[in-house]
Each structure stands twice: as C-alpha cells, then as structure tokens.
Amino acid sequence: MQRDIHNELQRRAQRVLPRGVYGHESTLLLPDSYPQFFSKAEGAYLWDADGNKYLDFMCAYGPNLLGYGDPRVNQAAIDQLHRGDTMPGPSPLMVELAEDMVGMVQHADWAMFCKNGTDATTMAKTIARAQTGKRVILVATGAYHGAMPWCTPMPAGVLPEDRSYIRQYDYNSVESLEAAVAAAGDDLAGIFAAPFKHDAFIDQAEPDPAYAQRARDLCNDTGAMLIVDDVRAGFRLTRDCSWELIGVRPDLSTWGKSFANGHPISALLGSDRARDGAAAIYATGSFWFAAVPMAAARATLQILRETDYLEKSVRLGTYLRAGLDTAASDAGFSFRQTGPVQMPLFLFDDDPDFRIGFAWSEAMLRRGIYVHPWHNMFLCDAMTETDMDLTIDAARDAFLEVRGQLSTLQPHALLAEMFQQRAAE
C-alpha cells in the first residue's frame, strides 16, 4: 500500500502538532499501518492522503449517518452559505431547528445548540447544577462524555478539584447506582447515562431497563436531573431519544455527531423540568449560532423522518453480523460482535492485549475495509448489500491470514504501555 505522502505528513506533523495529531482521531493507539490523514470522503468510502480507498466503518466516529457529502444535505448547506452563516445573531433556522428537534424527541420541550458533543455534555452538567442548586454529578465508570477536565479520560493537566463533585457508579447496576445516590446525600444534581454501554476496549451492552427506570425514579425522588448522553447513538437506534426504546425519559439529552450528517453542530435538549436551569446559565460560542450547520441539520432531520435509513441500517447490520460470525467460526475464531448491529464492536476471545484484533484489522485495511480494533463502529445509509458482501469476503480472507500468523504476533507497544499504566492506577 502506497504510504509516501502519509509518512512525509507524519514527519512534518511531529514538528507542528502536539503528538503528531491529538485526541481520539490520533492513530497512535491504532495498528501501525493505519492512515492518519484523509484527502477525500464520498458516500460510504474514504481515501487516505496517498489515494488508497477504503469502505469506512468508522463514519468519522459517528457523524457520517447518510453518506459522506450527501447531496441533499450539502445543497441545503450551500444555499444557506450564500445567504449567511456566522452573523451577530442566529438566523430563523435556529427556531425552526429547535422546533424540528422538539417535535422528534418526545422528552424535549426546548433545545440549545453548540458545536461539539463535549459542549452539550458540559452544559448539561452545568444546567443540572443550576437547576437543582446541588453539586454532585454521577457518571458511569468508563463512560466517555467528552474532553473537558471534568470528563476527559486522560489525567494530564487535570486537578482533583476539577472533578471533586464528579462521582462514579457501575452502568446497569441498580445497587451501585443506589449506593452512589445515597452517598451524595442531599447534594445530588444529576445522573449521566449513555443510551447503552459503549465504552472502548470492552464488549458493548444493552441498557437494563430496571437500571434505567431506577435512575429515573431516583432523580424524581431527589429532584436531580437525568441526562442521557446520546451524542454517539442519537438517531441511530430510533428517531427519538434512545431511551424512548425502553420507556424512560430523561430531563436532558445531549446530541452531536450525526444529526447534521457531519456539519459542525451539536445540541442539548431538555424538558420543562430543566428549563429554569437552562435559562439561568451563560452559554455561548462565536460559532454556535452559525446558520449553515443548522440548514444542514434541518435537511438531515427531514431525511431521517421521511426515509427508511434506520430500518435499512438494521437490515444491513444484521446481514453483516451473520456473515462475519460464519467467516470467523469457519476460521476457528471466537469473535464477539456486540452492541446494536448498526453500531457494532468486534473483539476476539483470548486476546487480552488486542494483538489478534490489531492483526485482523490491519488485514482488513489491506483489503480496503477500514474497521476499528477497540471502538464501536457505525454503518451509514450510503452502504449497500454489495458493501456488506465485500466486507464479509475480506473478513474471511483476513481471518485465515491471521490464523496463519498467530504464533508470531506481537502486542502494540503504546497500547501495552497504556494498559500497564491503567493497571497501576
């Protein structure tokens, strides 16, 4: 695979970007052959800086819901760009988009818009405190809610004080949640919950409805705010808040990534129970009111309401899961596919340091399929049954190739170091 341009970019990046590239889009914790820079994306496909083409199962870590560059969404964005984008205040689109979202998400009575998922989760935390006048925020151990000091998974530069009222409980455990709520005494401001357990490096898990309902009841009893972080899964499981599927309505829900099909916008939705807190806080940003992403969001939401994108993703995902299961077991691997079929995660049994998963992912990449060895992936509406067949065929070859390499595989050095550090903490 051609890598000359990539290697040169990486060399230059080391000088002008911290760590080369930072955050979750850095490839430092991915197999060595993974491309860091991409020059083009179209539909379900992605081209790296050297022009190598991949069928992309990361979907930009979520934002690509309909297909990269969806012409219906982009036309709406381009039309708005000619009219105005960042102005001294919002365009009428802000009211219309808020009406769209409140119309689709049943627990929501109002909306606020921002740029990234972290903006929305951080605002949710602040509103929970402003609404209740209390301090403690509960988050599930291992859950990702963004990259600010209160929630970042990396401790560098973060003070214990930044997190002094952030406490943890175990996702899906009623007992652990009850204990954390009891320990908060009369100081509980809010409980965060992911729509399902989608932490990195471990199997995904459905939410236990008893846990979700208990979280709701505990918030009702204490006056605290229940917050569902739908930044990653929003509109991928249902055309509503994801917990609507299990009949539990939060006070606040956070959205991002996909509802403008990749255009930069995120949202915080809330019920009347959280309205005063939302009205009280100071929340803004130079680009939060930009009209172009709002036009893209309205166009995306219309497509979500009017097409079978969701049902199709479940159909293709189910087909893919069955095909990969057969290919893996034919090659003698115990291969775990967890989470919703449209947001799959692939892990191997007997692979504690991920060396098998890394080798298989690299073997897939060489066959033009971009998969992730430890983060959940996404299907997009531009994918076809032919794409699923290509993936299953590539997987079949990749499983056989890795079977032949098992005795010589080595762990990934940086990942091994990270696991060691975590074990020591």
- Binding residues vs ligand PMP (CB under 6 A): 61, 116-118, 121, 144-147, 194, 229, 231-232, 256
- The least CB distance from residue 343 to ligand PMP, in Å, is 11
Sequence-separated (6 or more) residues with CB below 8 Å from residue 84:
91, 291
| Cα 365 from Cα 360, distance rounded (Å) | 9
| Cα 248 from Cα 107, distance rounded (Å) | 9
Which residue's CB comes closest to ligand PMP?
A: 117
- The least CB distance from residue 383 to ligand PMP, in Å, is 21
| Cα 254 from Cα 198, distance rounded (Å) | 15
Do residues 76 and 298 make contact, with C-beta atoms less than 8 angstroms apart? yes
- The least CB distance from residue 178 to ligand PMP, in Å, is 24
Do residues 321 and 341 make contact, with C-beta atoms less than 8 angstroms apart? yes
Q: Would you say 260 or 365 has its CB closer to ligand PMP?
A: 260
Long-range contacts formed by 85-92: CB under 8 A, 24+ apart: 85/290, 85/291, 85/292, 86/286, 86/287, 86/289, 86/290, 86/291, 87/289, 87/291, 89/289, 90/289, 90/291, 90/294, 91/291, 91/294
Q: Would you say 56 or 229 has its CB closer to ligand PMP?
A: 229
Q: Would you say 117 or 262 has its CB closer to ligand PMP?
A: 117
- The least CB distance from residue 233 to ligand PMP, in Å, is 7
| Cα 170 from Cα 168, distance rounded (Å) | 7
| Cα 32 from Cα 156, distance rounded (Å) | 25
Sequence-separated (6 or more) residues with CB below 8 Å from residue 413:
none
| Cα 351 from Cα 360, distance rounded (Å) | 12
- The least CB distance from residue 18 to ligand PMP, in Å, is 17
Q: Would you say 20 or 142 has its CB closer to ligand PMP?
A: 142
- The least CB distance from residue 141 to ligand PMP, in Å, is 14
The residue among 296, 293, 298 whose CA lies nearest residue 90 is 293
Angle (CA) 93-97-99 rounded to 5° is 120
Q: How far is CA 133 from CA 100, 127, 140, 274, in A?
A: 31, 10, 22, 12
Q: Would you say 207 or 387 has its CB closer to ligand PMP?
A: 207
Q: Would you say 226 or 394 has its CB closer to ligand PMP?
A: 226
- Neighbouring CB atoms inside 10 A of 349's CB total 10
Q: Would you say 256 or 277 has its CB closer to ligand PMP?
A: 256
Q: Would you say 237 or 356 has its CB closer to ligand PMP?
A: 237
- The least CB distance from residue 86 to ligand PMP, in Å, is 19
Q: Would you say 144 or 333 has its CB closer to ligand PMP?
A: 144
| Cα 207 from Cα 205, distance rounded (Å) | 6
| Cα 245 from Cα 233, distance rounded (Å) | 12
